[in-house]
Chain A
């Protein structure tokens, strides 16, 4: 229990009006924008409409302090904010109007919820007195979004705005991050009230962002690790969200434990690190999957044992003692029963563990991973990256991107085969470089997310790798790229199929290709109509030059690469199988 004195010390001071002048009265709309400035927001992704017009009217006077990116669809806006949050490590901010504007956010909210992305979404709402009357563009947004938000709230009175927005930013960004939606009725946006500055929120009595670290469990975990002969680390996005990449590296380097990543944990550890043994899960690497069922101590750090990672649970790591580090207590024992639960922020718990563990190397054990890598290279990777047939593979395209960006690019992927190939083969030197829709698997995510990713990391090359199917789900955001001159590189891997579904139909449904044969427009002409340069290639001899042109082009560029129609992603853990039953072909 916190005592009164520390509570006082915790209470932050009010931040004065951003104009620097004494302002006695503001409108609700101005209060929203003042909250943003006080929270350090500089970029908003949004789309105006009737019920949010007062906020947009106020924004007119704030254009020197707040950059607003006009998207083409609210779903594009929220995915852009997600991309922004993922590359910048800050909270993404979205504006949408009531009714359809707000319902268009739902997919992005669900995506951000399952992938723990911090967002604050502001939706306009009809006047408070019209609530429940089926007014024009009225939708019960708070109730629609309840299951897909970490917190949401409706404001009908402007005086609530500063404190509610302070709570919103605090909740979105603290603990296990997530999306927050604040619905503001039009009267509250217009209402004037006495302004007393903006006081950031640092504490909510019913909300505990981080569990208290239990030292005895850290000690127990260290004991298990010190006694382990075949320890194995699985790391997820928790390392990135906790900004604990350094602490993580120090921990694995001292213990010498082979470490494998989830799709969202990718880039937390450089690809070339000697202890990085690859990707987990359904299309992950051979060694990490097989050896999950052989290790003696499994150390899970900031990951949630998703079913795509674990395969069949009753045959998952049954021989191992499990240490689970997570900031969210409800993740412990949710899917895999832990031997030692280490609740807490891994930024705190990892250094505690590092202090207690002995310096070790696990050469023979690491060699086992390398042996499996050799087998996988031979059976899958070599041919994927250096194909002998005339047909281009997705893998060789990603390899070319690696070579030409030196592993320094931000890679944003959509969902499907290209996503798995990109995650498997893309090289990363630094954290926050892989942006993908992991938990929800939202096709159409990549193009808008890449826009946001570029605003979140303006000095970096951003390459959006997208399939021909997913691209057609949100291609309207080419308009945003055009208008806001967003320098993103769009790499479409076109196999003229909805490839992942086709692969499953081939393997598990007797090749009954049911509605996966998708046609596409001329993507290069489409890009051209938006003033975006583009090129389409289908020959290996053109690949390097085309990727070079894409990367070096001054501004956005669309490169379509025609790849093999019926290539499959391997290895693969078939659904309902154990991770150690992973197939190489």
Chain B
């Protein structure tokens, strides 16, 4: 057995501080998080973390149980790449004059399925979505044409066999709607309060 890539999906309440509570479960074991995404789920008030790590399955299995034990975690899963559909997105900024001159670039972008998001006189921003290798392939390809800036998003993933849980989750939210997040409403009220 060797380390392999696992995608961990965690369904949680939307609570301040929960990101830290989950993140430290990895750092406590000195596991590097390769990618982390938080987003809403298909159900109101339920949040979804997608975390990618490289580890032994036995370690991941125990870790996921510890994550699931947290009070505000509804459910946690771990999956290998073949059990999920996943995508990452990347943005590339390149000088407009170079790409306007070189026909090759246009072909290249076409080949990688990239599309222009912003076109300005001085620079153009392209976007592409796909698997890691594709995104990285385009960086290499664009480098000779003066790539100015590159950024890649975290992985987002859909679990192929998730129907059962989805039904449960919907039912769950119907019976017990989640609570609103209460944020600090006082941060801009410094001058109004007497403090000692």
Binding site for B on A (CB under 8 A): 1-4, 7, 126-132, 135, 142-143, 146-147, 150-154, 156-157, 160, 171, 185-187, 204-207, 328-330, 333-334
10 extra interface residue pairs, beta carbon distance < 8 Å, beyond A129-B187, A157-B182: A128-B185, A128-B187, A129-B193, A150-B71, A154-B16, A204-B71, A206-B71, A330-B62, A333-B62, A334-B62
Q: In the complex, how many residues of chain B place their beta carbon closer than 8 angstroms to a beta carbon of chain A?
A: 33
Measured between alpha carbons, how far is A187 from B189 in the docked complex, in Å? 12
Partner of A143, one of B17, B168, B172, B184: B17
A126 contact set on B, CB distance < 8 A: 195
Are A206 and B73 within 8 A (Cβ)?
yes
Q: Look across to chain A and name the residue whose beta carbon is closest to the beta carbon of B45.
A: A205
- Chain B residues 139-196 with CB under 8 Å of chain A are 168, 171-172, 175-176, 178, 182, 184-190, 193, 195
Measured between alpha carbons, how far is A187 from B186 in the docked complex, in Å? 10
Residue B68 CB within 8 A of the other chain: yes
Q: Look across to chain B and name the residue whose beta carbon is closest to the beta carbon of A143.
A: B20
Are A330 and B176 within 8 A (Cβ)?
no
A128 contact set on B, CB distance < 8 A: 184-187
Nearest 8 pairs between A and B by C-beta? A128-B186, A330-B65, A129-B186, A205-B176, A151-B71, A207-B71, A206-B74, A129-B189
B110 contact set on A, CB distance < 8 A: none
Are A7 and B24 within 8 A (Cβ)?
no
A4 contact set on B, CB distance < 8 A: 175
Q: Look across to chain B and name the residue whose beta carbon is closest to the beta carbon of A131.
A: B184
Measured between alpha carbons, how far is A70 from B168 in the docked complex, in Å? 49
B53-77 near A? 1/0 per residue, CB < 8 Å: 0000000001001101101111000
Measured between alpha carbons, how far is A571 from B179 in the docked complex, in Å? 54
A132 contact set on B, CB distance < 8 A: 187
Are A127 and B176 within 8 A (Cβ)?
no
- With A146-B24, A204-B71, A329-B65 known as contacts, the answer to whether A7 contacts B189 (CB < 8 A) is no
Binding site for A on B (CB under 8 A): 12-13, 16-17, 20-21, 24, 28, 62, 65-66, 68-69, 71-74, 168, 171-172, 175-176, 178, 182, 184-190, 193, 195
User: How distant is B49 from chain A, measured CB to nearest CB, in Å?
Assistant: 13
Measured between alpha carbons, how far is A131 from B185 in the docked complex, in Å? 11
A206 contact set on B, CB distance < 8 A: 12-13, 71-74
User: How distant is A573 from chain B, measured CB to nearest CB, in Å?
Assistant: 24
Are B66 and A7 within 8 A (Cβ)?
no
Q: Look across to chain A and name the residue whose beta carbon is closest to the beta carbon of B13.
A: A206
Measured between alpha carbons, how far is A132 from B195 in the docked complex, in Å? 15
User: How distant is A183 from chain B, measured CB to nearest CB, in Å?
Assistant: 10
User: How distant is B20 from chain A, measured CB to nearest CB, in Å?
Assistant: 6
User: How distant is A26 from chain B, measured CB to nearest CB, in Å?
Assistant: 19
